[in-house]
Structure 1
Amino acid sequence: MEFTCGLYTGRMQLTVKRFEELSAAELYKIYRVRVAVFVVEQQCAYQEVDEADRRCWHVFLHDEDGIAAYCRVIDPGVTFPEASMGRVLATRRRQGLGTRIVQAGLTVARERMHADVVHIEAQTYARGLYEQLGFTQVSDEFLEDGIPHIGMMWRAE
């Protein structure tokens, strides 16, 4: 897929796979980028790799330089009664890749899970991004691993 998104113009590939379909190299790259962002960069010691990884779609944008954006779309009943999305990240900031990966995650939820509702726990600073994509806040702010979060829901129209 070729697209222009913010400052980034180039050839970016979207990959969508279940855990069992990932190669060892793909799984390594996913875990490496998630730990780099959520554990090292955000200085947050927590169990980053969890059982939800086995029960979700792994969605990532990548090119010859590696994974540029990632999210996982989790089966209903694993973390919430509804389908959910988490571990959303973009390694190349301010290029529109965060928006692009959330849109791809919503497409996966709709098309592969037939979901009409997606539940997330968003870092509070990213509220605006999610609101632009149709999410609404459904909880007060709370701390998750020391970082302010809010519950948000997306509903199909």
Structure 2
Amino acid sequence: MHVFCYNDSGRVAGCLRVFWKDHDEASGHDEASGIAQIGRVVTLEHGKGIGGQILHEGVRVATEQFKAKKIYLEAQEYAIGYYAKEGFEVVSEPFIEDGIPHVKMEKVIEKS
């Protein structure tokens, strides 16, 4: 599922996608793990809080619509603080992907 944010001009200002981690092309999903993944987070306008808003909405989608037990993502190292504000914690040592240092992060969803 893609989450979009539009600016005042009606243009897309940011987006991300939410999907099941370890997605199985044959079955279309892998709900059994209960782990949703957020990826391809991008904002076109910086310094306006769009990133935080869209990430918050992505977490809401994973929690309410996917009923995920945990949310996983791979963050560029410089963005750890951005994800930490939404409750994500680093769960790996840094690794290189496409020449850029990344870390794995997770957010466990508290069930009431």
Q: What is the TM-score with the length of structure 1 in the denominator?
A: 0.60
Q: Within 2, Cα distance between the matches of 1:116 and 1:103? A: 16
CA offsets per residue over residues 72-111 of structure 1, 9 Å max, x none? 0012431895210000011110111111110000000011
From 67, 75, 80, give the equivalent of 2:20. 75
Unaligned runs of 5+ in 2: 25-29
SS of the equivalent of 2:103 reads: strand
Q: Within 2, Cα distance between the matches of 1:113 and 1:65? A: 27
Query: Does structure 1 residue 60 correspond to structure 2 residue 4?
Result: yes
From 46, 52, 64, give the equivalent of 1:99. 52
Task: Say which structure, 1 or 2, has more relative contact order (CA 8 Å, 6+ apart).
Answer: 2
Q: Within 1, Cα distance between the matches of 2:12 and 2:81? A: 24
Q: Identity over the aligned pairs, expressed in percent?
A: 38
Q: What is the TM-score with the length of structure 2 in the denominator?
A: 0.83
From 97, 101, 107, give the equivalent of 1:144. 97
The answer for the alignment partner of 2:84 in structure 1 is 131
Aligned residues: 101
From 43, 50, 60, give the equivalent of 1:90. 43
Q: CA RMSD in A?
A: 1.7
SS of the equivalent of 1:104 reads: helix
Unaligned runs of 5+ in 1: 1-56
- Relative to its length, the structure with more helix (as a share) is 1
